[in-house]
Structure 1
């Protein structure tokens, strides 16, 4: 016999407290202390006092929501984007750039246990050369939503502007919305990607049903009138180039062609500084053998090859390996070779590793490179530069090198994504 239970709804009264904020965490949350407990409050800045409603109360920390701000920090600034606070893209537009960089640098120094020696930064606005906008047709209103996801939700924020996008891409938003809204197949659109390559903008349109000839013609006319390359993606693994040239960008003066699906650094200005600084830190000499792990299509590998005797790039994605080799040939670099390997396996056993390496650079994804660190130690390079998009995994992986006798010589905070909670960095390790 089945039994059914009706749980009584628990009614709670949310506590209201007054706090003084002392810090800003890397994610743009104000940090305060209350009754010996750390409280995180989005929207507050250091030196600000506020009445806060607790939304989560754990044994070691709590989270709160601002009920009333009692004063303003001198470092508070008016958000430039009208969607700030709703859109999940930016978390720190209410803080000036100096405070953002200071809070991220402090958090990085605390994690890595080393002072930040440099901050690599560029323009804080109009820096983002890539964006993916979700599309959703609303039958009730007969309107197409185009934008980014809400903070902590799957709903779409229907954006009219985005000041962190490079101006050329931001200017495309209104006419692109109008064009897509008028398509017969508007109900079968998934998302649209915009990328600004150095030879012009491109657009990738994901659609889940075949486009009519009329829709296709309209999209082609749009691409010609706005001088952008146009790609269709009828399935996630299929990409059809309809108009325009193959996109490319410059890295250290070298031309790197790429597919719209390939990873490229979103912030071109900081990327150029990052490549230059990494090369300087490695102190690449004409006789050096250099290894670039997680090399992608050669963002670091090819500039390194301009200066070293030989360079090996290793990557886990086969398509990027092919693209890297193609870019080496296009730039007449004959001292660099790319290999497709599973970087969790011992790469020191590969034939290309038998002569060792003088310098190593690695640029892993957010998960870091825990399986690779012992292999790097075995290769015993004089210098290692680790480029990281996750300070927590960088701190973990650094322990292996420090235990093996390497020392941190330089630490940089890379302000790759101003106004967001993303914290990127770069470390130079050197043998004792």
Structure 2
């Protein structure tokens, strides 16, 4: 005899409660308290009363979404982007820019204070235009078989699906204006189903495009791309997955920094926010108090974003970077700008540096700009150099706080702290700190 079982349908009820938002965390979430537990609420701002739905309930905290705001904050803004709330690019367009900056500065102060003997305060906020600031963007490309069309855009929040962009107010206007005509051009290609992604970059000599394609392009497709590039005065590069790009024109992109002309490959890292980057470099030079007889070491130097401007002010500047292509570009730019007192070395700074040819030189000032992992591998060597001043530029306050402890334990003083609003409306928190030793 056969027996049939009917599985009971599992029913889950999302808890709905009313809370008062007390703070804003660096990720754009409101912070509330309920029954002694911290609740992080997306879509809510300090001072607001909100009816929320709990989406994740842990022992020490919970996460929730705001369903109804009963008392809107005067610092609540209407998001400019029609994709806000779906696109994963921005998290804080609903908050006034001043509130975003204040919440990030408070978070930075809290994180640094945990490792310091005295409370650390943020001395200044370095910012630029909150809109139209992003000069570089990578857009995903997906062929949608059911709709029989190409999707182009950023990833949705917590998803691999794309948000089809028609506008993006954080992009520089020159790149935003390309979104719809570029989508139309790519949709007309024979290879439309075999495209990977597209990168847009604004150089000082015009916009450039990098198209990742999965199969070889036909002569007809190349002709369409060449016509599009000519029409929009666009430097176009094709990426087939190999290490080298194929340029459809012979133009070399560049940008200016401190009267220097810096050329770059489309594959090279350059700072996305040019306005804040210029201020950041100027602030680093001022904090280091550069003198003509100084010898400066710049670690994690990239293509010389700091090293080359510093070289204009000092006797000798040395940059060290792990990516060989960036070192080659930095060397080329030093020659291009006739900076003979600047040199570069390639080395993985997570490995031992004691036997490197640059390591024993007598540097009296140091600058470092590591990736999110921080600079744990080279901190002990910096301390051995005993520089008078150190400027640490960080894109991760957690590793900055950790590495700061090494300096403080070695007798350095934390002199200055700046929050860099490099990515307005997002959860990214960047900063720079000055350590000095008398």
**TM-score of the superposition, structure 2-length normalised?**
0.96
Q: Give the count of matched residue pairs.
A: 428
Q: How do residues 156-175 of structure 1 correspond to structure 2 at under 5 angstroms? A: 156-175=162-181
Q: Does 1:96 align with 2:122?
A: no
Q: Secondary structure at the match of 1:215?
A: helix
Q: Does 1:410 align with 2:416?
A: yes
CA distance in 2 between partners of 1:127 and 1:307 (Å): 29
Q: Contact (CA 8 Å) 1:348, 1:379: kept in 2 or not? A: no
1:9 deviates by: 6.3
CA distance in 2 between partners of 1:89 and 1:195 (Å): 17
CA distance in 2 between partners of 1:366 and 1:120 (Å): 20
Q: Secondary structure at the match of 2:291?
A: coil
What CA deviation, in whole Å up to 9, does each residue of 1:216-250 have, x standing for no partner?
A: 00000100110010000011533111125111111
Q: Does 1:223 align with 2:237?
A: no
CA distance in 1 between partners of 2:416 and 2:242 (Å): 41
CA distance in 1 between partners of 2:284 and 2:147 (Å): 52
Map of 2:52 onto structure 1: 52
Map of 2:148 onto structure 1: 142
1:354 deviates by: 2.2
Q: Does 1:257 align with 2:263?
A: yes
CA distance in 2 between partners of 1:134 and 1:145 (Å): 8
Q: Secondary structure at the match of 1:249?
A: strand
1:67 deviates by: 2.2
Map of 1:362 onto structure 2: 368
Map of 2:213 onto structure 1: 207
Runs of 5+ consecutive residues of structure 1 not aligned to the other structure: none
CA distance in 2 between partners of 1:413 and 1:307 (Å): 25
Q: Secondary structure at the match of 1:243?
A: coil
Map of 1:247 onto structure 2: 253
Aligned with 2:342 (options 336, 348, 357): 336
Q: Contact (CA 8 Å) 1:24, 1:30: kept in 2 or not? A: yes
1:348 deviates by: 3.8
Flag the 1:17–1:204 CA change in 2: closer, same or farther, 3 A: same
Map of 2:11 onto structure 1: 11
Deviating beyond 6 angstroms after TM superposition, the runs of 4 or more aligned structure 1 residues are 5-9
Map of 1:179 onto structure 2: 185
Flag the 1:6–1:216 CA change in 2: closer, same or farther, 3 A: farther
Q: How do residues 288-303 of structure 1 correspond to structure 2 at under 5 angstroms? A: 288-303=294-309
What CA deviation, in whole Å up to 9, does each residue of 1:363-410 have, x standing for no partner?
A: 000111111111100111000000000111101111101110101100
CA distance in 2 between partners of 1:300 and 1:63 (Å): 40
Q: Contact (CA 8 Å) 1:310, 1:336: kept in 2 or not? A: yes
Map of 1:66 onto structure 2: 66
1:341 deviates by: 1.1
CA distance in 2 between partners of 1:47 and 1:236 (Å): 53
CA distance in 2 between partners of 1:375 and 1:91 (Å): 38
CA distance in 2 between partners of 1:69 and 1:321 (Å): 52
1:65 deviates by: 1.4
1:134 deviates by: 0.5
CA distance in 2 between partners of 1:368 and 1:207 (Å): 34
**TM-score of the superposition, structure 1-length normalised?**
0.97
Aligned with 2:292 (options 269, 286, 289): 286
What CA deviation, in whole Å up to 9, does each residue of 1:26-78 have, x standing for no partner?
A: 00000000011100011000000111111111111001112221110000000
Q: Contact (CA 8 Å) 1:134, 1:192: kept in 2 or not? A: yes
Map of 2:116 onto structure 1: none
CA distance in 1 between partners of 2:366 and 2:352 (Å): 15
Runs of 5+ consecutive residues of structure 2 not aligned to the other structure: 114-119
Q: Does 1:196 align with 2:194?
A: no
Q: Contact (CA 8 Å) 1:346, 1:375: kept in 2 or not? A: no
CA distance in 2 between partners of 1:61 and 1:330 (Å): 55
Map of 2:313 onto structure 1: 307
Q: Secondary structure at the match of 1:45?
A: coil
Flag the 1:78–1:244 CA change in 2: closer, same or farther, 3 A: farther
Q: How do residues 121-136 of structure 1 correspond to structure 2 at under 5 angstroms? A: 121-136=127-142
Map of 1:371 onto structure 2: 377
**Root-mean-square deviation (CA), in Å?**
1.4
